[in-house]
Amino acid sequence: MERIMAQKYHRLNIVLHWLIFILVVFTYYSGWNKALPLHRFLGALVLVFALIRLFTMHLWRRKFAPLPQKPWEKLVASLTKIALALLFIIVPLLGIVFRMYYGLDLVFFGYVVVPHDWVGYDPTLGNSLRLWHLRIAYFALFLLAIHAAIACYHQFVKKDKLLERML
Ligand code: HEM
Ligand code: HEM
């Protein structure tokens, strides 16, 4: 565990942050365009990297000098970061699981990675989980907009170099 006073996040966490961001952009894009095989592939990659990040962001946590922030600003920023880290695990998991209830496997390069028979056949539950996949994906998009707006506010209004921690 690395708890040094630092200027920047650990390099691996920076790479994972932006890699997940790029994958997420293309995952939404492919979902909206109904390019579903690509969407499932990218979404599953988001799941893999978001799970890795969950460990590495704690393993290589860094301590930064406190910024002049109101307590509520700090709270909103922290809750948004925690929610984003978790939601990009929950959304792809729901995507995989709702299809399993329809009797569909998760296939990667022709190999069945998650067979549908780990759960029963229940299209009604599948329908409901499908709706949750969509609802939570849109909620995550809303949080992402808040998170990016906070980053821009620091960069262009407060000019406190917060963004540089992640570059
Ligand atoms: C970061 C991960 C993911 C995000 C943000 C995401 C988001 C979305 C979005 C925005 C849509 C289109 C919704 C609409 O039509 O308005 C969608 C549809 C869909 N997603 Fe995902 N998704 C992710 C991962 C996955 C994964 C891993 C799977 C399955 C392996 C999956 C399966 C599907 C399917 C099958 C649809 C079409 C649903 C339908 O309209 O019947 N998604 N997703
Ligand atoms: C899928 C998209 C994104 C997700 C899931 C995400 C998630 C996160 C998470 C979990 C952290 C905390 C990292 C840690 O504690 O180790 C973080 C930090 C950060 N993110 Fe994002 N982020 C996304 C997109 C963006 C975008 C588009 C920007 C810029 C416009 C951005 C700017 C930042 C900055 C500046 C930090 C450091 C903030 C601080 O130290 O308080 N992120 N992000």
Q: Which residue from 8, 16, 151 is spatially nearest to 77, judged by alpha carbons?
A: 151
- Ligand 1 centroid vs 162 CA: distance in angstroms? 32
Is the minimum distance from the CB of 85 to ligand 2 under 6 angstroms? yes
pLDDT at 134 over 60: yes
Highest mean pLDDT among 3-12, 47-56, 63-72, 104-113: 47-56
- Three-class DSSP category at 3: coil
> DSSP letter at 68?
S
pLDDT at 24 over 70: yes
Mean pLDDT of the chain: 94
pLDDT at 63: 87
Contact status, residue 87 vs residue 54, Cβ threshold 8 Å: no
**Which has more pLDDT, 2 or 114?**
114
Helix ranges (DSSP H) in 33-122: 36-59, 71-101
Phi-psi region of 114 (alpha: psi -120 to 50; beta: other; left: phi over 0): beta
- Ligand 2 centroid vs 123 CA: distance in angstroms? 36
pLDDT at 2: 58
- Ligand 1 centroid vs 79 CA: distance in angstroms? 24
**55-110 pLDDT per residue, tens:** 999 999 988 888 888 999 999 999 999 999 999 999 999 999 999 999 999 999 89
Could you say which ligand is closest to the alpha carbon of residue 66? Answer: 2
Q: Domain residues of the chain, as ranges?
A: 11-62+74-165
pLDDT at 68: 85
Place of tokens 């579903």: 36
pTM of the model: 0.95
pLDDT at 155: 93
Could you say which ligand is closest to the alpha carbon of residue 85? Answer: 2
pLDDT band at 12 (very low <50, low <70, confident <90, very high): very high
- Ligand 2 centroid vs 14 CA: distance in angstroms? 9
Amino acid type, 143 = L
pLDDT at 6: 72
pLDDT band at 29 (very low <50, low <70, confident <90, very high): very high
pLDDT at 20: 98
Place of tokens 């695990």: 89
Is the minimum distance from the CB of 23 to ligand 2 under 6 angstroms? no
